Amino acid sequence: MLKKRIIVCLDVKDGRTTKGVKFLDNVDIGDPVEMAAEYYRQGVDELVFYDIMASARDRGPTLDLISRVASRVFIPFCVGGGISTVEDIRNTIQAGAEKVSLNSPAVRNPALIGEGAAIFGCQCIVLGMDAKRDPAMESGYRVYVNGGRVATELDALAWALEAERLGAGEIVLNSIDADGTREGYELDLTRMISEAVSIPVVASGGAGTPAHMAQVLTEGKADAALIASMVHSGEYTVGGIKDELHRAGIPVRIPR
């Protein structure tokens, strides 16, 4: 049986890790380089690094910071934020990332997904999607861009299927409604997307306890669970979470 992945997300603003609730009221919580090194030490399977202001400010990825994080971790490392051209993808991978997450730039230019996949391989191209409940959309969820600040006319399910067709190798699916609440993942959204696509889906937004993670990895059909607040707060460690998931019968990689 394939192991379920535990991924820690570092949202970065102005060179510092930040955390908010439903993309609002962000506060500084530390140095992303040191935090990445600590989560690697704890046994996290992957890291995701999002520059949450890059697209809104219309600038590219922060390559120096990416390089410094990559020098401290030796696990898959995905970077998102401000990656809007093939050259940005190339520079980010050369700086040390294994994957790039395309969110707002992919909405504006869907061809970027296919161009990136053709050059660097589907496994390097991740669709980052921020979705929010909206009964006006066919699936019940609308896609947002620019760090969850701007609504689009894209339906979340239709966009996931289109991204897979274009060549995305994975989807990181973030629920704006659940983000930072620590009240549990958006199971209906996660299950809908996971059952519709054949590529891995990473559930994001709402993790508060290992039980929430177990629920989204089983009922939500997710291939991986992304966490932030529950470890940033110091309440849980990655190793402790994995032990609880293992006891719950979830197949995870236990560090030896």
- CA-angle at 24, arms to 21 and 26, nearest 5°: 85
What are the start-end ranges of the E strands in 32-140?
A: 46-51, 77-80, 99-102, 125-133
14 annotated active-site:
no
Burial class of 223 by CB neighbour count within 10 A (0 to 12, 13 to 18, 19+) = middle
CA 120 from chain centre, in angstroms, equals: 19
* Ramachandran area for residue 22 (φ above 0: left; ψ -120 to 50: alpha; else beta): left
Which of the following is catalytic: 45, 88, 130, 179? 130
Which of the following is catalytic: 11, 88, 155, 179? 11
11 annotated active-site:
yes
Which residues, at least 6 apart from 249, have a Cβ–Cβ distance to it below 8 Å? Answer: none
Active site residues: 11, 130
